[in-house]
Amino acid sequence: MQPSYNKRLDKLRERIKKAEIDTLLVSDARNIFYLSGSNGGYTGAKVMLIVDANTSTLIIDKRYLAETMESAVVDTITAWTEPSYGDIVALLKGSGVKKVGFESTHVTVKQYERLVKEFDAIQLVGVAGLIEPVREVKDRHEITKITDAAAIGDTTFDYITGILRPGMTEIEISIEIDFFMRKHGAERPSFDTIVASGIHSAVPHATPSSKKIEVGDFVTLDFGAVVDGYHSDMTRTVVIGRASGKQKDIYAKVLEAQIAALDAVVPGKVCRDLDAVARDIIAEAGYGENFVHSLGHGVGLDVHEAPTLAKGNEAMLAEAMVVTVEPGIYINGFGGVRIEDLVVVTRSGREVLTLSTKDLLEL
């Protein structure tokens, strides 16, 4: 199944009209890919998508023109003639455009200064959040790609737990994860793979180090794959050797909180309330100060996107959103546990895409 770029553009045009602008300049690579199918921006090429009430035009570095002609679904594709925004002004001249919006959160100060210089006769308006909210609700094509990416994650977890042994370094394990994912269909990892062992596992976003895995260590594995631009994200925590009583207790409490939060996922659920489901369980166990991040986040073309399942977020979940559910407990000088699943919000509840076991593995 191919995405319907026309439907996506129609939704954007409704938002452009409400923003009271004539035309939108789309410069963010992921937004361009979402609206046109062109991945030119990911290559580092200079690319811009121009969307108005009736047409869509893609301007790209001429070195990527042939590839873009094959993949992009837009009305017009053209190449830059000079390293400036003069090409855009030339396209808009005589069209009656008076107010042009640009993605204020994706434009540097330098780019803004160049835009102002070129658009001296046209009013420029910085706009934010026109496209990203549309991306929050996924279509069937997107959910299929995210599901495929999640499946690579599950296969990778099976592989890595089969080779984990004392003496391996965190860096070595992260390399094994990344290589296995690439070998089995991933374009690239979703993010810098996290492998954190022993007391290092008390750092939620630890960077893999030369530390060697030891018997008795918690080992947290947080990784994801990218398939056709779409990300997955999963976390599992295992123990090397026999788990201690304290390790079992902490793991059981995180798992209880995670399952309770999963069971509470439903369309219309307020994000802060979902966060509270897991947070209250962990707090009641005496570890409230040790749950130091939000419950989860949206996943799609970005591995971290809206909605955020956080204490202060009053947004509501909607059918076809894809989010993570990942509570954790982190104790300095001891270690930490995080369990993360990728979830699709369905009409009546949720579908969990991460299928790897959540039993405490003692390897």
At residue 225, φ and ψ (nearest 5 deg) are: -120, 155
At 83 the pLDDT is 61
Calculate the average pLDDT of the chain. 93
Question: Which candidate, 155, 135, 132, places its Cα nearest to that of 143?
Answer: 135
Question: Which candidate, 51, 43, 52, places its Cα nearest to that of 60?
Answer: 43
At 121 the pLDDT is 75
At 40 the pLDDT is 65
pLDDT over 80 at 85, yes or no: no
pLDDT over 90 at 120, yes or no: no
pLDDT over 70 at 257, yes or no: yes
Q: Where in the chain is the domain with CATH 3.40.350.10?
A: 5-134
45 — pLDDT class (breaks 50, 70, 90): low
Task: Output the six-digit token pair for 82.
Answer: 């000079």
At 61 the pLDDT is 85
- Tell me the pTM: 0.94
Q: Which fold has domain 5-134?
A: Creatine Amidinohydrolase; Chain A, domain 1 (3.40.350)
Amino acid at 63: R
More confident residue, 220 or 123: 220
Looking at the DSSP assignment, which residues form a beta bridge with residue 57? 50, 76
At 23 the pLDDT is 93
Q: Count other C-beta atoms under 10 Å from residue 240's C-beta.
A: 21
Report the CATH architecture of 137-352. Alpha-Beta Complex (3.90)
Q: Long-range contact list for 108-116, CB < 8 A, 24+ apart? A: 111/27, 114/84, 114/85, 115/25, 115/85
Q: Work out the burial of residue 260: count CB atoms within 10 Å of its CB; fewer than 13 is exposed, 13-18 middle, 19 or more buried.
A: middle
